[in-house]
Amino acid sequence: MRRLSLYSLVVLALLMTACVSQVAPPPTAPPAKTAAPATVVAPSWETDWNKTLAAARQEGRLMIYADISPDSKGQITKAFQDKFGIQIEWLVGRANEVVAKVLSERRVGIFQVDILHGGTATLANLPASDYAGLLTPMGPQLVLPEVTDASKWSGGHLWWVDREQNHIAYFTISMPAVHINTDMIKPGQIKSFNDLLDAKWKGQIVMDDPSVGGPGNSWVTAIGEGIMNQDYLRNLAKQEPIILRDYRQETEWVARGKNPVGVAGDSATIIQFKRNGAPIDCIVPAEGTFLSHSKGGMSIVDRPPHPNAAKVYANFVLSKEGQTIFTKAEGLQSARVDVSTETVDPSAILQPNAKYFNTITFDYQLKKGQYATWSKEVFGALIPK
């Protein structure tokens, strides 16, 4: 009886073990559901840009009237056409000449220009009847984040010349207050603007015409309004400067020593001569010089025939790539802080402790018109007819 019970117990234990080994393992938790990928929505600027670019390529071309150097014209044209496949046609001349052409065309119903490049004084000083409706506000046309990001620009802001954002400046440079032939004038001979009033410089100074838009008009306005005064300019006129309207000729005469001293010169032309080895250099007198955008201004005209191409061009010029091209071509400092100054002539780079009179304002541009008229009286017969 006991033996049977022990046997039964053993069998029972074996049966229980077998049953346990055949029990299915507990079910594992179902895998977590993965969220459906979110729909990627392009930023509004990117949608705008792609739409504009497609339309610009359909337009296929762009017309620009400009006061621009041959180097800048050639390099920006190639880069823009290679990048976007849009052709550029140019009409090049002094700012007052190209603006006059735009106005004459519009009076007879011709609307063929998209962009105006160059200084802004001529535009600012137009009669209200001519200026009204001439330009399209550029602010809303700028969409690339690298362009609209204020931190990319000197001073933490885009350099609008006017409150309406019709004109933008893309250079902020130290203008050549005085330039000299370094073979004929030694360092220290001219330290002040007043040194130019010495009798030995009478008839020896070459000057750009201050009675029309250009560096001469900018220089006279800055000297008269902020750096010196109008009496100084009257005394300078008594020195009988040789007044010309040809940037290259003015610079060449200084480089050749025909007139060893120059004032109110075109910065880009002076720098090109320096690059080619001419004995020419700039001086900042003790009284300082002025901050300018030189010919680095841009506007979009009203009713451009190629509005999308104009928008693409404006954004490209103000991008780091576009500003690098202009900086290298002109040797002038960009208003963008992320563009290298390696190729900029030292005389055109802003110095932290130098004195600068800021001329990149609409109020200053308006004064240039007043000084153009005033200069005709002060410099009189010295001004070419």
| CATH architecture for the domain at 44-173+294-360 | 3-Layer(aba) Sandwich (3.40)
Choose among 240, 234, 238, 264: nearest CA to 250.
264
pLDDT in tens, 20-77: 344 444 444 444 444 445 555 556 999 999 999 999 999 999 999 999 889 999 999 9
Percent of the chain past pLDDT 70, that is, above it, reads 89
Q: How high is the pLDDT of residue 26?
A: 45
d(CA 214, CA 121): 8
Q: pTM of the prediction?
A: 0.72
Give the H/E segment covering residue 242.
strand 242-244
Mean pLDDT estimate for the chain:
88
φ/ψ (deg, to 5) at 187 = -55, 135
R_g of the chain, CA atoms, integer Å: 34
The alpha carbon torsion through 244, 246, 251, 255 (nearest 10 deg) reads -80
Query: What is the fold, at CATH topology level, of the domain defined by 174-291+368-382?
Result: D-Maltodextrin-Binding Protein; domain 2 (3.40.190)
Q: Are 259 and 141 in contact (CB under 8 A)?
A: no
Q: What share of the chain is helix, strand, coil (3-state, %, to 5)?
A: 45, 15, 40
For the chain, what are the domain ranges? 44-173+294-360, 174-291+368-382
Burial of 94 (0-12, 13-18, 19+ CB in 10 A): buried
Instruction: Flag whether pLDDT at 148 surpasses 90.
Output: yes
Q: Which of 199-208, 251-260, 311-320, 324-333 has the weakest average pLDDT?
A: 324-333
Residue 294 Rama label (left phi>0; alpha psi -120 to 50; beta): left
d(CA 154, CA 132): 30
